[in-house]
Structure 1
Amino acid sequence: MDISRVDLNLLVYLDVLLRERNVTKAANHLGITQPAMSNGLRRLRDLFGDPLLVRTSEGMTATERATELQPLVRSILSDIEQAVQEKTPFSAGESQRVFRIMASDYAESCLMPRVLRRIRQEAPNVTLDVLTPSDVSFLDVEQGRLDMAINRFDKLPQSFHQKTLWTEYFACLMNARNPILRQPFTLDSYLDASHIWVSKTGFGVGVGVNPKDVQRLGWVDEALSLIGHKRQISVFTRHYQVAMLLAEQHDLIATLPCRAAWLQKDNANLVVKAPPFEIPPFELKMAWSPLLQHNPDHQWLRRLIVEVAEEVDTEFAPFGGRFEGAWQASDAKGLKGLTEPSE
């Protein structure tokens, strides 16, 4: 095929068609008429020798060939956009840009207040729009509608760029007068206690929790399941701030990431202990679309977030170091040396 005879506009049409899976919506997105979009689809089918989109009971469905083409076309258009985009340096002091960041509740509690403080210092006219995982999808990130996703991810699309902000361990937060503290803090005493479950990490709308479905309960309960145990959960919440407030009740334990527990270091009502069993650590990452990789505004935002995460890591290190691998010290003697009262 002579590439010089290929109308590059057709690739733009294909990109939008595969995203919208609807001729009328694709036409509206590009600001052309529906017949013009239908004609474009006809030319695309001739060009690739494939129907690309076929009508099914679920609407327009992409063929196998179209599914293979989608990331390739997106990459080609991204390179073209980068090549023709005017390189204007980002002026933080003058920018009025809105940055949209998806952050898990954990990241929003531990990282975003400091990020906002830095943004207000360096770019006072910039607006920060923080969304929850339930507000967005991977598609929003891929298409650049979302500047950044900050979370713990089991799996990310290969096209995404990503950066690890820190590695996180776990801690147990409880009331200083919790009866469990009258004895050594062992696995047995942990299992005898009542617990607060907190988690909401992935994309999409959340659903109710089934307490019997350990595989869906997350890090803490999966770790217990591996050693043949199950804890008694009295309350389920999706908000770390709520979990920390509930931990002030005299008989509840919240097992949560160390940096979340660290936020309560000045609360005289709470103490922190290392879990008496192994909970694998996780990585907090930020992920973004390849479409934004070379954008000067976005590069500034990424640098700022990384710098703030490094500041948090430095301040947290004296507190957090005692929790890395601390579960290995769990035995009949308990973990009294790892108790972290307010200080």
Structure 2
Amino acid sequence: MPDDPPLSRLDLNLLVALDALLRERSVTRAAERLHLSQPALSASLARLRKHFDDPILTRRGNSYELTPLALRLIERTATALDATRRVFESQALWDPRQSTREFLVYGSDHAFATIAHRVSRLARTKAPGVRFRFQLHTPAVVEDAENRLRSADAMVLPHGFLTDLPFADLWRDRWVVLADENNTAVGESVTMDDVAELPWVLSYQSRSAFTSAGRQMRELGVEPRVEAVVESFLTLPYFVLGTDRLAIVQAGLAPVIRRIGGIRVLEPPFDATPVLNALWWHPVHTRDPEHEWMLGVFAEAAAELAGDQEGHG
């Protein structure tokens, strides 16, 4: 610790300047973004170069490029700046009806099509000025969830991917199989022979991105013949239409898929383990009144979603 520079010597305005420079890759544009004069921002860049012992921006022809160090700093700077804003925007008493807070929540298009739009609608009635930013996660985001959730509010994700983080269970969903309505290879129901012999389009297929049903097929000794992989659940039916392919999705998306037309929604020929979807967050947000309010909205939306699913069988 004796070699660490004390925080009292650090100018947090430099963090704002660094973030603008990294985003704009131009002193002129960064100055415009911050409503500062170009000489003022150039002075900040000089201080940053001295602090990091690195040029940060290097000229190449008529433009500037970020140095390797600057490229590594992009995400760290954005995370640090967001965390700093959260510290100083925190309030002892928070009134959601008077707030203009934005909540950032990661999730898949399945999460957004099922629970997120309900959360947004409920929030509008409870806190008209509050808004949600729902951002698609990627395998990289899920793998780095602990760090990403420091600067985001939550992530909607089924159990089986994250550990050692706080969570609240939301709702259960089951799996259904999609087939083109003109696919004569599939009878009234899907059989295990169909699963083994027909081609598939899968959503996600990697070490950290997969569906439990897809993994379960392999555990049953069936290696699907995969013709396409898409990192989206809502686009799966378009890869099935007009083909002999099969796909497997959460039953919660069936109403949306049926509206597309031309797709049969069938039960899988094996006892597919249901998905338990949960809301995950970083411990730093625990006991934050704003975060607790958000959890309450998600819990209400989850109850509404579960009721709708029961009503549709």
Same fold (TM over 0.5): yes
CA contact (8 A) 1:174 1:270 kept: yes
The aligned residue for residue 297 of structure 1 is: 290
CA contact (8 A) 2:189 2:266 kept: no
2:91 maps to 1:108: no
SS of residue in 2 equivalent to 1:195? strand
Amino acid corresponding to residue 166 of structure 1 in structure 2: W
CA contact (8 A) 2:182 2:242 kept: no
Could you tell me the percent identity over the aligned residues? 17
Query: Structure 1 CA distance, aligned partners of 2:295 and 2:129?
Result: 18
CA contact (8 A) 1:141 1:288 kept: no
Amino acid corresponding to residue 132 of structure 1 in structure 2: L
CA contact (8 A) 1:109 1:240 kept: no
Query: Structure 1 CA distance, aligned partners of 2:296 and 2:13?
Result: 36
Query: Structure 2 CA distance, aligned partners of 1:102 and 1:291?
Result: 17
SS of residue in 2 equivalent to 1:121? helix
Amino acid corresponding to residue 229 of structure 1 in structure 2: V
The aligned residue for residue 309 of structure 1 is: 302
The aligned residue for residue 154 of structure 1 is: 160
CA RMSD of aligned residues (A): 3.5
SS of residue in 2 equivalent to 1:240? coil
- Unpaired runs of 5+ in structure 1? 1-9, 18-22, 38-80, 200-208, 322-343
Task: After superposition, give the CA deviation of every residue in 1:102-158 in whole Å (9 maximum; x if it has no partner).
Answer: 112321222212222222333232232222223743244553x11111112425353
CA contact (8 A) 2:203 2:210 kept: no
The aligned residue for residue 145 of structure 2 is: 138
The aligned residue for residue 73 of structure 1 is: none
The aligned residue for residue 89 of structure 1 is: 94
Which of 106, 109, 123 pairs up with 1:119?
123
- Does the C-alpha gap of structure 1 residues 305 and 189 become closer, same or farther in structure 2, counting only changes over 3 Å? same
SS of residue in 2 equivalent to 1:111? helix
SS of residue in 2 equivalent to 1:174? strand
SS of residue in 2 equivalent to 1:312? helix
The aligned residue for residue 220 of structure 1 is: 213
- Does the C-alpha gap of structure 1 residues 216 and 110 become closer, same or farther in structure 2, counting only changes over 3 Å? closer
Amino acid corresponding to residue 297 of structure 1 in structure 2: E
SS of residue in 1 equivalent to 2:278? strand
- Does the C-alpha gap of structure 1 residues 247 and 316 become closer, same or farther in structure 2, counting only changes over 3 Å? farther
Which of 203, 222, 227 pairs up with 1:198?
203
Higher mean alpha-carbon deviation, 132-141 vs 277-286, is at 132-141
Amino acid corresponding to residue 115 of structure 1 in structure 2: V
The aligned residue for residue 177 of structure 1 is: 182
- Does the C-alpha gap of structure 1 residues 27 and 190 become closer, same or farther in structure 2, counting only changes over 3 Å? farther
- Does the C-alpha gap of structure 1 residues 155 and 223 become closer, same or farther in structure 2, counting only changes over 3 Å? closer
- Does the C-alpha gap of structure 1 residues 113 and 142 become closer, same or farther in structure 2, counting only changes over 3 Å? closer
- Unpaired runs of 5+ in structure 2? 15-46, 52-86
C-alpha displacement of 1:277: 1.6
C-alpha displacement of 1:302: 0.9
